[in-house]
Structure 1
Amino acid sequence: MSTSESIPKARLLTPAELTPCIRLFRETRHWSQEQLAAISGLNVRTIQRIEQGTSASFDTRRALAGAFGFEDIDALNKPFTIPTGEDIKAAQEKFDREHVTLTASPLTTGRQLAKLAEACTMDMSEPAFEMSREAEETFAALIDYFRDYRDCASEYSESQKFEIYDDMQSLIDALKALGVSLRYAERRVQVKFGTDADNKPYRTEVAYVVAFPLGQEPEQFATPKSAGISM
């Protein structure tokens, strides 16, 4: 076989060929079908059908390309080179080097969120899917409240904290009514400010508060090992 014949040729993927590719892209990121659905904005049944070989529409392929971080959101609607075994292994190793997988725990009470604020000094809080404007505003209000409380939690007496719990609970309940479920994780990281070699890193706790569609919450989520955080 010649060298040119052994190189995979780019072509539009058939539904049967798209199936293993989507499963591969999802599994190398340690995502469940539910998490891919949340990130892409698609229904979990759509993800399941695609991974069973059902054809995907133009817009669905676009949504999947966006979820997987392709620079060209039409990449899956164009001639595509099917990855080789070596490509798969390299992609998995690269993802594992650059990401850490965290357990996604349910966040259902204001007390939980307040205790998380007291335990962590930084956070990465964001929705994992496209929400309605009302849900976006409610989530933003909750995170603003969370950060404000985190910065001055020590100034509250134990009895005053019950009002904080109630305020946070009302926002969590409002999100649930809008079809939004919250998951959280904690991670110990090393932080270094500036580029001076003499600046020593220090260890701190980072909180992750992530919004998912109600009923499509993952058990885990992956996040970059190095990323911007909010103080």
Structure 2
Amino acid sequence: MNSTTSGQPRLLNLEEFAALIRKMREVFQWSQETLAELAGLNVRTVQRVENAKSASFDTRRALARAFEIEDIDAFNKPYIIPTEEELKEEKARFDRDYITLPTFPLSTGRQLAKLAEGSTVDICQPGFEIKREAHEVFAALIDYFREYRDCASEYPETSKFSVYDEMQELIDELLTQQVSIHCATREVHLKVSDSQPDAKPMTVQMTYLIAFEQGKAPDEFAVQKKPDFRF
């Protein structure tokens, strides 16, 4: 791709759009899985786009949202391919606002309980368009996670085994519906009060629990540095 743009704006054909998306993804250093997760698309859809096989109106909108392009219809309009410099500027802006976290699969109730015991705040949500029945099970699992987190210190060790078992049942039920949970954690430093500028930030442990189609979870999450969380 040239470092300068030329010519009049026009609709990109499939080959040009494929090259653009590949280049943008490479500049952002994202895998196809990460781009799919941010766009709310199936990885196979991203692969078809990058292979110049298809790029529907809605897919182009989803990709624009993933790259945080203000006009979500930018890819559906006459367009000039951005320069290398412009892409690098977008990458720098993304790095200011987001960090990338490695993920790991949630497989046991005990694992989820231990995450709850060490968690202060959380972001829990589906990473794809989940069916109603599976969504209800996922919601029940998250409710249990939060309830246990709030009172875990009050549980005798012998009582925790029933918690592990009940969480395991919900995890297993999701797996039967082809849904898996992937997790990530990080420390977040929160400003205690705007009225106390000299106060030391409070450090909390944030947990991310995201539901994916089984076998299609990404190896990493791109998350906001200043997240919208829940205590």
Q: Could you tell me the TM-score, scaled by structure 1's length?
A: 0.88
For residue 187 of structure 1, what is the aligned residue in structure 2? 186
CA contact (8 A) 2:5 2:80 kept: no
Task: State which drifts further: 152-161 or 186-195.
Answer: 186-195
Provide the secondary structure at the position in 2 that maps to 1:159.
Answer: helix
Deviation by residue 1:59-87 (Cα, 9 ceiling, x = unmatched): 33233334444444433221123111111
CA distance in 2, matches of 1:122, 1:132: 26
CA distance in 1, matches of 2:93, 2:10: 25
Give % identity.
53
5 Å matches for 1:137-216? 137-196=136-195, 197-216=197-216
CA distance in 2, matches of 1:134, 1:65: 30
CA contact (8 A) 1:38 1:213 kept: no
* Stretches of structure 2 lacking an aligned partner (at least 5 in a row): none
The residue type paired with residue 55 of structure 1 is S
Provide the secondary structure at the position in 1 that maps to 2:228.
Answer: coil
Two-structure CA RMSD over aligned residues (Å): 2.1
CA contact (8 A) 2:120 2:205 kept: yes
Alpha carbons of 1:6 and 1:15: their partners in 2 closer, same or farther (altered >3 Å)? Answer: closer
Task: State which drifts further: 32-41 or 147-156.
Answer: 32-41
Deviation by residue 1:105-162 (Cα, 9 ceiling, x = unmatched): 1111111110001111111222222211222222121111101100100110111101
CA contact (8 A) 1:31 1:222 kept: no
Number of equivalent positions: 227
The residue type paired with residue 200 of structure 1 is K
5 Å matches for 1:1-231? 9-196=8-195, 197-231=197-231
Provide the secondary structure at the position in 2 that maps to 1:63.
Answer: helix
* Stretches of structure 1 lacking an aligned partner (at least 5 in a row): none
Q: Could you tell me the TM-score, scaled by structure 2's length?
A: 0.88
| CA positional deviation for 1:165 | 0.7
Provide the secondary structure at the position in 1 that maps to 2:157.
Answer: coil
CA distance in 1, matches of 2:5, 2:34: 35
CA distance in 1, matches of 2:143, 2:69: 31
Task: State which drifts further: 191-200 or 62-71.
Answer: 62-71
CA contact (8 A) 2:100 2:221 kept: yes
CA contact (8 A) 2:5 2:82 kept: no
Task: State which drifts further: 72-81 or 146-155.
Answer: 72-81
Alpha carbons of 1:30 and 1:114: their partners in 2 closer, same or farther (altered >3 Å)? Answer: farther
CA contact (8 A) 1:63 1:73 kept: yes
Alpha carbons of 1:87 and 1:115: their partners in 2 closer, same or farther (altered >3 Å)? Answer: same
CA contact (8 A) 1:39 1:129 kept: no
Alpha carbons of 1:116 and 1:30: their partners in 2 closer, same or farther (altered >3 Å)? Answer: farther
Alpha carbons of 1:66 and 1:99: their partners in 2 closer, same or farther (altered >3 Å)? Answer: closer
Alpha carbons of 1:175 and 1:41: their partners in 2 closer, same or farther (altered >3 Å)? Answer: same
| CA positional deviation for 1:58 | 2.5
| CA positional deviation for 1:38 | 4.1
| CA positional deviation for 1:230 | 0.9
Provide the secondary structure at the position in 2 that maps to 1:82.
Answer: coil
